[in-house]
Amino acid sequence: MKLSFNIKYNTAFGEDVVVNILQEDGKTLQYRLKTLDGHEWTAELELTPKTKDLNYYYTIQRNEQVVRTEWKTVLHRIELDTLGEVKSMSLYDRWNDMPEDSYLYSSAFTECINPRQLSRPQNRGYKKTVRLIVRAPQLREDDVLYVAGADEVLGSWQIEKGIAMTQHNYNEWVVDLDGAYFAGHRMEFKFASINTKKGNTSAVWEIAANRYIDVPKMTTGQVEVYDMDMAFFDIWNRKLAGTLVPVFSLRSKTSFGVGDFGDLKKMIDFVALTHQRVLQVLPINDTTTTHTWTDSYPYSCISIFALHPQYADFTALPALKDEKKRAHYESLRQELNALKQIDYEKVNDTKIAYLKDLFAQEGKQVLASAAFKKFFEEDKRWLVPYAYYCVLRDENGTADFSQWKDHNLWDEKDRKALEDPKSAIYNKVAFWYYVQFILNAQMADAHAYARKKGVILKGDIPIGVNRYGCDVWMEPNYFNLNGQAGAPPDDFSVNGQNWGFPTYNWDAMIADGCQWWIRRFQNMQKFFDAYRIDHVLGFFRIWEIPINAVHGLLGQFAPALGMTADEIRGYGLNFQEERFTEPFITDWVLDRVFHDRADEVRKQYLDRIDDERYKMKPQYDTQKKIEKLFAGVTDQKELDFRDGLYSLISDVLFVRDRKDKNKFHPRISAQFDFIYESLYDNDKGAFNRLYNDYFYRRNNQFWYNEAMKKLPKLVAATRMLVCAEDLGMVPDCVPWVMNELKILSLELQSMPKDPHVRFGHLSRNPYRSVCTISSHDMPTLRQWWDEDWNRTQEYYNTMLYRGGAAPHPLPGWLAKDIIARHLTCPSMLCILSIQDWLAMDESLRLPDANAERINIPANPHHYWRYRVHLNIEDLINNKHFVEEISELIQMAGR
């Protein structure tokens, strides 16, 4: 077959256009196009494709290196077997960048909101064929694209006589026309949409001038393919409403003291019933390291693939045949399900015991099934190390693999025995294979159920992993274990947040094309159609805290451009390395911090340096040493004393760069510490100039480049809708990248991104965003309302446009008003927590607003045990509440 590729692209000198043709074996054939003017590129090939479809894309190369690639979510596609006997084919393509409406190509829209069956074009048996291809992503689920034009064959501009097209790819439509009629002829036509349920009266013409194609003369077996510019219609953007609730917080009449994947399906029913289209959950990965309540933290996963055993839905599994055991577990289920909060330890101990009993009864049969063998073959890369890790963790009594007797790191040589059902070790790990098989099947079933109901399941990608987890044990080269990930000080925590996670070795990850992340995202798409990137700022730079620190104040952004001593002096600050990088401890500081216990600190914890300053004794010179000293202390006065010692250690003006000891970073929030107070006014001014330049300007381009090494690969790895949590200390380069990659931002009225306003104006939210009132890390709407009465009063008067005093506590009618205003904002998604939805019904919500809080970020040891106090079944049957939510959503046009 003779193939002719044609594309218009304005290249720079030294650049070439290359067509990349995908082969059945996964390999790619590359052909360089030629040009005479650097604008029109062509290639003539003699090629016999070995596949029934010709899939290809274009790249721009310079010196054999790819410098630009087309958007590959929707490749150029020609179904060769639908064209009859082809002797020659001319392809007139256009370069496809990521479109502004790329979200319409996500599985969230193509599988949940606008589901359509993709079809292959009908083979019409033409001896000469003109094929038209056009993208029309705005069409709704019941719309069909038509082509109509001036020629009688095209209906003479009567749309009902036009030709229906076939959607052969996501949002891409194709139609074949008889080349015998059009050869040597100018075609004049347009595209139109018809709703199949409403008929011809629903026809909507594209907003564009008439289209023209001068079809060349054609011979038998010739095919002319025209890839057209997008068909744009006067169709409004979809806006969707949804609910945020952790799976563990769900409650039903059949659950086992914690929400499970069966409850998730019931929650999907509630969401669909109330005309919502999105259900967002927190991470669902396994977090088990200690088998205590400290494992309740869902963002500290031990495996980016394994699901948490607590989410197993026992009602979807065979019943235990032992009547005594069955009665025992049913009694425990009722006891645990009646609790107001989750008893994490008892719930998980009981559910694991139940699963072991069920495995003893059903395991052999399940492991021999075709479904399990398929699962095992597809997921064994991560499943086998994870199962062995669980066995070794429990045998050694700790997840800290550095303390294990052996197997301190994963050894690939162990895999063969662990995969062999005949080996002795297989019997130890088989239980964990079984558990993950059940969990994967149940979560995949919930995902399919959500799609059937038209609901987008939105997951959560934590920025970190547990430093003693399976991921680090298996692939330690991807992690830096000498640092801790966290966040700088913000509204949630004045001392910053220390999550304890290892930071990533991005050099190693980028070297292999971010395969670790790609595998993670591709596994997640089995369960979700949208996801939230937790702390997206971590892909630009992470807040890295020294391993010997407790608080986040001594951290630094990594990577970041540290400053030399001469650069610092260039701002007018008389930089003194030792004075500015060591804790500033003086008598007046001690008196201010410790009052009548200042002498105790001098004698027990300090050594004098000179007449002015002290230093911490070696046995107390890090926050971790102080933390260990006060381990087990519960008296608040002693804890305040400990915190005072912490503050002495963090009272520095600069921290040294983690890689280059001759470079420095200004310490975050140093303006609130004593060392800053001790500076002359001119030095304070110089430090402030340096500080603002460093944190808000110096690194912008550098961080942009860092993010663009990673995020494009991850966004392209799946078709899930990408959303990001972009709150906190946000540099200017973050919106640059998010706009370029079409990532949805997070918008909170109480945390505006415009520094000139106290509260965000909802009408200014960008369409490509997620609007919410509160997140799992924040006070609920009711809590926020009573947290700061002065702030609430200003909000009441200036944002709600109401006079007089703001009522306290927040009445239901006013919560409803606030929710209604959020629903009418321009954001694509408005996702509210289940607590905030309940806030508008005083007969349903908890009397104590503080009992609804999920997490307190300032407390790194918070117990995540919030559980909705209402059964999902009762919410579904509450006609008034269902109608109230539905009415708000419909009135808002969502």
Cα separation of 183 and 396, whole Å? 78
Q: What is the mean pLDDT of residues 661-678?
A: 96
pLDDT value of residue 422: 94
Q: C-alpha distances in angstroms, 169 versus 74, 118, 508, 825?
A: 7, 6, 36, 32
pLDDT value of residue 859: 81
Contacts of 535 (CB under 8 A, 6+ apart): 463, 487, 725, 728
Q: What is the mean pLDDT of residues 863-874?
A: 96
pLDDT at 367 over 90: yes
Burial 779-803 (b: 16+ CB within 10 A, else e): bbbbbbbeeeeeebeebbeebeeee
Contacts of 874 (CB under 8 A, 6+ apart): none
Cα separation of 174 and 4, whole Å? 19
Please answer whether residues 679 and 666 qualify as being in contact, where contact means their C-beta atoms are separated by less than 8 angstroms: no
pLDDT value of residue 822: 98
φ, ψ of residue 43 to 5 degrees: the values are -150, 130
Q: 3-class DSSP state for residue 128? A: coil
User: What's the pLDDT band for 48 if we cut at 50, 70, 90?
Assistant: confident
User: What's the pLDDT band for 24 if we cut at 50, 70, 90?
Assistant: confident
Percent of the chain whose predicted confidence (pLDDT) is above 90: 92
pLDDT at 603 over 80: yes
**Exposed/middle/buried for residue 209 (C-beta within 10 Å: 0-12, 13-18, 19+):** exposed
Please answer whether residues 203 and 193 qualify as being in contact, where contact means their C-beta atoms are separated by less than 8 angstroms: yes
| DSSP 8-state code for residue 469 | S
Please answer whether residues 168 and 80 qualify as being in contact, where contact means their C-beta atoms are separated by less than 8 angstroms: no
Q: C-alpha distances in angstroms, 230 versus 70, 92, 188, 883?
A: 16, 14, 16, 39
Angle, helices 426-452/370-396, rounded to nearest 10 degrees: 120
Cα separation of 745 and 88, whole Å? 47
Q: End-to-end CA distance of the chain, in Å?
A: 50
DSSP string, 296-337: G-TTS-S-SSPBPGGG--GGGSPPPS-HHHHHHHHHHHHHHH
**Exposed/middle/buried for residue 316 (C-beta within 10 Å: 0-12, 13-18, 19+):** middle
pLDDT value of residue 728: 83
User: What's the pLDDT band for 518 if we cut at 50, 70, 90?
Assistant: very high
Q: What is the mean pLDDT of residues 184-199?
A: 91
Please answer whether residues 128 and 88 qualify as being in contact, where contact means their C-beta atoms are separated by less than 8 angstroms: no
Q: 3-class DSSP state for residue 371? A: helix
Please answer whether residues 52 and 79 qualify as being in contact, where contact means their C-beta atoms are separated by less than 8 angstroms: yes
Please answer whether residues 544 and 562 qualify as being in contact, where contact means their C-beta atoms are separated by less than 8 angstroms: no
Contacts of 215 (CB under 8 A, 6+ apart): 130, 179, 182, 183, 184, 185, 186, 187, 224
User: What's the pLDDT band for 201 if we cut at 50, 70, 90?
Assistant: confident
Cα separation of 800 and 817, whole Å? 8
Single out the residue of 54, 178, 196 nearest to residue 123, CA to CA. 178
Q: What is the pLDDT of residues 253-290, one digit of tens each?
A: 999 999 999 999 999 999 999 999 999 999 999 999 99
Contacts of 675 (CB under 8 A, 6+ apart): 580, 584, 651, 652, 653
Burial 848-877 (b: 16+ CB within 10 A, else e): ebeebbbbebeebeeebbbbbebbbeebbe
Residue positions counted in the chain: 894
pLDDT value of residue 202: 77
Cα separation of 673 and 580, whole Å? 12
Counting runs of H as helices and runs of E as strands, what totals does the chain give? 28, 35
Half-sphere exposure of 479 (CA within 13 A, CB side): 22
The alpha carbons of the chain give a radius of gyration, in whole angstroms, of 31
Q: What is the mean pLDDT of residues 494-500?
A: 89
Label residue 649 left, alpha or beta by phi (over 0 means left) and psi (-120 to 50 means alpha).
alpha
Cα separation of 447 and 439, whole Å? 12
Cα separation of 108 and 770, whole Å? 14
User: What's the pLDDT band for 858 if we cut at 50, 70, 90?
Assistant: confident
* Residue whose token pair is 């149940």: 442
pLDDT value of residue 199: 73
The mean pLDDT of the chain is 95
Pairing assessment for the beta strands 15-22 and 53-62 based on DSSP bridges: antiparallel
Q: C-alpha distances in angstroms, 6 versus 52, 83, 91, 283, 833?
A: 21, 20, 6, 46, 51
Single out the residue of 364, 284, 286 nearest to residue 318, CA to CA. 364
Q: C-alpha distances in angstroms, 252 versus 204, 454, 731, 847?
A: 46, 22, 43, 21
Per DSSP, what are the bridge partners of residue 178? Answer: 129
Please answer whether residues 853 and 249 qualify as being in contact, where contact means their C-beta atoms are separated by less than 8 angstroms: no
Single out the residue of 445, 286, 433, 441 nearest to residue 363, CA to CA. 433
Q: What is the pLDDT of residues 212-248, one digit of tens each?
A: 999 999 999 999 999 999 999 999 999 999 999 999 9
HEC string of 339-362 equals CCCCCHHHHHHHHHHHHHHHHHHH
Burial 333-354 (b: 16+ CB within 10 A, else e): beebbeeeebbbeebbebbbeb
CA angle 106, 107, 108 (to 5 degrees): 85
User: What's the pLDDT band for 25 if we cut at 50, 70, 90?
Assistant: confident
pLDDT value of residue 494: 87
Range name among 24-33, 415-424, 440-449, 622-631 with the lowest pLDDT average: 24-33
pLDDT at 50 over 80: no
pLDDT value of residue 375: 97
Cα separation of 469 and 478, whole Å? 13
Burial 534-555 (b: 16+ CB within 10 A, else e): bbbbbbbbbbbbbeebbbbbbb
Q: What is the pLDDT of residues 606-638, one digit of tens each?
A: 999 999 999 999 999 999 999 999 999 999 999
Q: C-alpha distances in angstroms, 73 versus 57, 96, 580, 730?
A: 10, 10, 51, 29
DSSP string, 771-787: EES--TTS--HHHHHHH
Q: Where are the alpha helices (DSSP H) in 211-306?
A: 261-273
**Exposed/middle/buried for residue 776 (C-beta within 10 Å: 0-12, 13-18, 19+):** buried
pLDDT at 320 over 80: yes
pTM above 0.85, yes or no: yes
Single out the residue of 487, 593, 493 nearest to residue 544, CA to CA. 487
Q: Is the dihedral of CA 362, 367, 370, 376 positive or negative?
A: positive
Please answer whether residues 605 and 630 qualify as being in contact, where contact means their C-beta atoms are separated by less than 8 angstroms: no
Q: What is the pLDDT of residues 733-766, one digit of tens each?
A: 999 999 999 999 999 999 999 989 999 999 999 9
Label residue 419 left, alpha or beta by phi (over 0 means left) and psi (-120 to 50 means alpha).
alpha
Q: What is the mean pLDDT of residues 791-809?
A: 95
* Residue whose token pair is 């010692």: 645
Supply 821's token pair: 């205003």
Q: What is the mean pLDDT of residues 119-134?
A: 94
Pairing assessment for the beta strands 172-178 and 542-546 based on DSSP bridges: unpaired
pLDDT at 726 over 80: yes
